[in-house]
Structure 1
Amino acid sequence: MKLETIVHDIPPLYDAESRVLLLGSLPSPKSREAHFFYGHPRNRFWPVLAAVLGEETPETIEEKQAMCRRHHIALWDTVAKCDIAGASDTSIRNAEPNDIGRLLRESKIERIFATGGKSGELYRKLIEPKTHVPITVLPSTSPANAAWTFERLVEAYRVIL
């Protein structure tokens, strides 16, 4: 397992009206390539979110951004920098957190959700002691989480409403 040091360079998606924050762990190689969140074509995040919000699945980055803004949803990741093997969250070492406190100060975010177990674990360890805002962990929409059907994911993500 060869670890590579990754520095997160995708800016958070939020504005002053954002009320809900969805946090991944770290962008996958495909997401970093696309320079936007949940960029792997087989990741079910965008279809799940669209279903929860009653919208068509957005295709372009602009459509994804617009859908999130319409529904006051912010997106970012827990990790600013870490050592990782490929896209394997379980391999994350030496994680440094993103400045979630800044998003909280610059928005109306009241609730934070992790889009997978590792994001939730790292948030609780590295960020929650500073922000004192608890996180709710949702199941990963990654294709690696095949145990969760699309329908089960949509049902689980309804809690963001």
Structure 2
Amino acid sequence: MDIPEDNNAGQCNCLEPIVDFDTQIIILGTMPGIASIEKEEYYANEDNVFWDIIYRVFNPPLPADRQILLSYREKLQVLKTNRIGLWDTLSACNRKGNQDHRISGEKINDFERFFSEHNQIHTIIFNGKKSLDYFRGKYPNLLKTINYRVWYSTSSSSPINAFYILYQWSELKTLLM
């Protein structure tokens, strides 16, 4: 369900990265949606299928009624167990609603510094084409100069793409393992 939007684009700022010294895979979205910013939790919009996909791909499936009860802490533990971190390509932007195509005034995070501080990361997964496009726009050669085993651009986990992305993520797991 899309959150109603007003006529003025709101200022959005990214959340802090979820990363530690064990993180080997980083998933980069574009910018958190309104629900995520308000709750200060990645992928907090209940219609976004990100957490469902993470559980299906990286964890044994849970009964549907149990998934609703998972705390944010439990969700982050699945990522940590699989050495996965989260962040966003944009540090700030203006956006009407939640959709990436309504972004303007974007500022990109400092990935040269980020990857020098987290040189154990060997895989980047872009959660959506816009995330990859913004990254390449600011750092056109960074993916070539850093020695990554694999990087992959998926369709965004927004509700619009829900039926199409589970296969992509399942294929991605075989590349990572």
TM-score of the two chains, using structure 1 as the length reference: 0.86
SS at match of 1:144: helix
Distance 1:149 1:72 in 2: 21
The Cα shift of 1:145 comes to 1.8
SS at match of 1:26: coil
Distance 1:40 1:16 in 2: 28
Distance 1:95 1:137 in 2: 20
The Cα shift of 1:12 comes to 0.3
Aligned twin of 2:170 = 155
What is the 5 A alignment of 1:42-53? 42-53=47-58
8 Å Cα contact 1:16-1:106 kept in structure 2: no
Distance 1:129 1:81, change over 3 A: farther
Identity %: 24
8 Å Cα contact 1:13-1:76 kept in structure 2: yes
The Cα shift of 1:5 comes to 2.1
8 Å Cα contact 1:23-1:114 kept in structure 2: yes
1:6 and 2:12 are equivalent in the alignment:
yes
Distance 2:44 2:107 in 1: 22
8 Å Cα contact 1:120-1:136 kept in structure 2: no
The Cα shift of 1:53 comes to 0.9
The Cα shift of 1:30 comes to 0.8
Distance 1:54 1:121 in 2: 29
8 Å Cα contact 1:27-1:38 kept in structure 2: yes
CA deviation map 1:9-31 (0-9, x unaligned): x2100111111110000000011
Which runs of no fewer than 5 residues in structure 1 stay unpaired?
Answer: none
What is the 5 A alignment of 1:107-118? 107=118, 108-118=120-130
Give the superposed CA RMSD. Answer: 2.2
The Cα shift of 1:121 comes to 0.7
Which runs of no fewer than 5 residues in structure 2 stay unpaired?
Answer: 1-6
Structure 2 counterpart of 1:88, from 74, 94, 99: 99
What is the 5 A alignment of 1:1-150? 2-8=8-14, 10-56=15-61, 59-107=70-118, 108-130=120-142, 132-133=145-146, 135-148=151-164, 150=166
